[in-house]
């Protein structure tokens, strides 16, 4: 697991969420690689990520995301189709009646009447699972802003398979919008190649604690393949042992850390700095987010959907966070976060960090609840 301190130049030191510094300090960046500093840090003039100014700068965004979760939870699935952050950063909550609009407005958010009922959109997603659940390279999620279900296809969906998708979409009319995503959807584990085990490389997600013991989270498709993790490709530095893994359906795994290998709740920013992680939360559409991973370092983007279903070649996963953040093989399991809040674990996607793409994340709150764990607090 990882240490809280910055990774020393030229070493293979670890930090939670990015298991390896794959590039020595001073080495040239890969084309299109976003490292060194987060966009929000530049705007805020931060000199030290994770220092006192970081949490304060992130507080407004964290409050709006929390408000979205509180209101949608209070309304329930029968009275709302979701929430999102608009371009002005306001929390917009979809409602079905005037009374709920007043409730939302009174809580400080913006109500918007949904064009289709929650039941109607649930009916659409249920029909999609029946007709397209085995079509790899496809997926879907509800877009709360338009009251539509967005169905996406990757570059492998052609010919008769594409025709079948188009027929399904036409039958559902204006309730469905189809989009094309670049490349091929797939999980992001890299066989044969920074955590290492059984010929695979993934990334550490978040350090967590359960019953006074140290663990860390990573992707389930990584945990399925690897039982014993090490901090080096040769297997000389024991890191942890997978104790539970879930994929497909979900995509998370719990790894018990070796004695002395555990780090605190920080993620590596790949610029000699770390960002403290103090709590876990739910992602909201429109939220600006950050991903850290052992292949590509730090990348930023925004949430475009929650509750997404993705039909990977390796299996179908549901309840995912969809984002515009890029990722590449080996980034699997790495952390998605906003400010000091843990949001998700890198699962898969399409494209890369040179041409762009779409990436999906397992919400971190699910494994934390399943395993009875909590994110490790920063150790001062």
- The catalytic site residues sit at 221, 251, 332
Pairing of strands 195-197, 200-202: antiparallel
CA–CA distance from 65 to each of 74, 140, 291, 335 (Å)?
14, 22, 17, 18
Residue 242 CA to residue 236 CA, distance in Å, equals 17
What is the DSSP track for 39-86? HHHHHHT-SSTTSTHHHHHHHHHHHHHHHHHHHHHHH-TTT---EEE-
Taking alpha carbons only, the member of 253, 374, 366 closest to residue 306 is 366
Q: Please name the residue that has the structure tokens 């590596």.
A: 268
Q: How many CB atoms lie within 10 A of CB 63?
A: 12
Q: Where are the alpha helices (DSSP H) in the chain?
A: 39-44, 53-75, 98-106, 118-132, 159-172, 220-225, 365-371
* β-bridge mates for residue 301, sequence order: 289
Taking alpha carbons only, the member of 333, 369, 349 closest to residue 251 is 333
Q: CB of 205 within 8 A of CB of 217?
A: yes
Q: CB of 15 within 8 A of CB of 266?
A: yes
Q: How many CB atoms lie within 10 A of CB 2?
A: 30
Residue 350 CA to residue 326 CA, distance in Å, equals 8
362 sits in which H/E element: strand 356-363
Asked if the bond preceding 248 is cis, omega within 30° of 0, the reply is: yes
3-state secondary structure at position 116: coil
Residue 213, CA atoms < 13 Å, CB-side half-sphere: 14
Residue 233 CA to residue 350 CA, distance in Å, equals 26
Q: CB of 95 within 8 A of CB of 77?
A: no
């Amino acid at each position: 697991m990882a240490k809280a301190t910055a990774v020393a130049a030229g070493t293979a030191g670890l930090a939670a969420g990015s298991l390896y510094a794959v590039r020595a300090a001073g080495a040239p960046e890969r084309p299109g690689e976003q490292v060194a500093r987060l966009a929000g840090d530049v705007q805020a003039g931060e000199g030290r990520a994770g220092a006192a100014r970081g949490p304060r700068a992130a507080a407004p965004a964290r409050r709006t995301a929390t408000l979205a979760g509180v209101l949608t939870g209070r309304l329930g699935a029968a009275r709302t189709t979701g929430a999102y952050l608009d371009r002005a950063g306001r929390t917009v909550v979809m409602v079905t009646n005037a009374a709920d609009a007043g409730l939302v407005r009174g809580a400080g958010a913006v109500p918007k009447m949904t064009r289709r009922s929650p039941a109607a959109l649930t009916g659409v997603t249920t029909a999609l699972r029946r007709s397209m659940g085995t079509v790899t390279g496809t997926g879907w999620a509800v877009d709360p802003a338009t009251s539509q279900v967005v169905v996406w296809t990757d570059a492998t969906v052609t010919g008769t398979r594409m025709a079948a998708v188009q027929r399904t979409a036409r039958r559902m009319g204006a309730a469905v919008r189809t989009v094309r995503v670049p490349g091929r959807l797939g999980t992001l584990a890299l066989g044969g190649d920074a955590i290492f085990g059984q010929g695979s490389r993934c990334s550490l997600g978040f350090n967590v604690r359960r019953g006074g013991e140290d663990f860390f989270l990573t992707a389930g498709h990584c945990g399925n393949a690897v039982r014993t993790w090490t901090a080096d490709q040769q297997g000389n530095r024991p890191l942890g042992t997978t104790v539970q893994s879930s994929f497909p359906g979900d995509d998370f795994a719990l790894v018990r850390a070796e004695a002395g290998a555990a780090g605190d709740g920080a993620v590596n920013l790949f610029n000699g700095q770390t960002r403290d992680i103090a709590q876990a939360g739910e992602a909201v559409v429109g939220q600006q987010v950050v991903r850290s991973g052992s292949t590509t370092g730090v990348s930023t983007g925004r949430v475009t959907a929650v509750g997404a279903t993705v039909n990977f070649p390796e299996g179908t996963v549901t309840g995912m966070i969809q984002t515009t953040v890029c990722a590449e093989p080996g980034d699997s399991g790495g952390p998605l976060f906003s400010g000091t809040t843990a949001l998700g674990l890198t699962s898969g996607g399409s494209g890369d960090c040179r041409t762009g793409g779409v990436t999906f994340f397992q919400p971190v709150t699910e494994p934390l609840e399943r395993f009875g764990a909590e994110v490790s607090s920063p150790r001062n």
